[in-house]
Amino acid sequence: MVRSANRRNTLVSFFVVALTMVVVPSPALAQGPGVRAGVSVDPDQFYLGGHYETGALVNRLHFKPNLEAGFGDDLTHIGLNFEFVYKFPANNQWTLYVGAGPAVNFYSFDDSDGSDTEAGFNVLFGAETRRGLFFEIKVGALHSPDVKFGVGWTFR
């Protein structure tokens, strides 16, 4: 009976430690949250948003999911973007990166009660400083906005 209880406690402890290692982010991997803003073309909008950038998943490849809310052109656009970025090696203050990823786009039309949810895909190019400032150009396909010009900050 005591042996059975010890085995059960050991198993429970093992699963708690394993779950903690999976759920709690590692400081070495986490790069941090950030904010972004910019303009888009087709639809012609101003947008605001936020993102979270991970550390390198593999050699210089980062996951940078983001949420952007666009306003103007008689509609509201909410874009949920699942983007991966590859950062080129840098020898100076600026790092160049490229990326791509799928998107889920929610559209709400101001002149009617209509709304729509569409799939999209984004390809992006950017430059960032070591402190966190970045500039980005995003080209959309399928039902994502055609082009976005943005600026943002990643808190490190």
Q: Which two tokens stand for residue 137?
A: 């150009």
Q: What is the pLDDT of residue 156?
A: 83
Whether the pLDDT of residue 16 is over 60: the answer is no
The span from the CA of 3 to the CA of 11, in Å, is 12
- How many whole angstroms from its chain centre is CA 39? 18
Residues 77 and 145: beta-carbon distance below 8 Å: yes
Q: Is the dihedral of CA 51, 95, 31, 141 positive or negative?
A: positive
pTM for the whole thing? 0.77
Domains contained in the chain, CATH given = 27-154 (2.40.160.20)
Q: Which residue has the higher pLDDT, 14 or 72?
A: 72
Confidence of residue 55 (pLDDT cuts 50, 70, 90): very high
Q: Is the dihedral of CA 49, 129, 56, 96 positive or negative?
A: positive
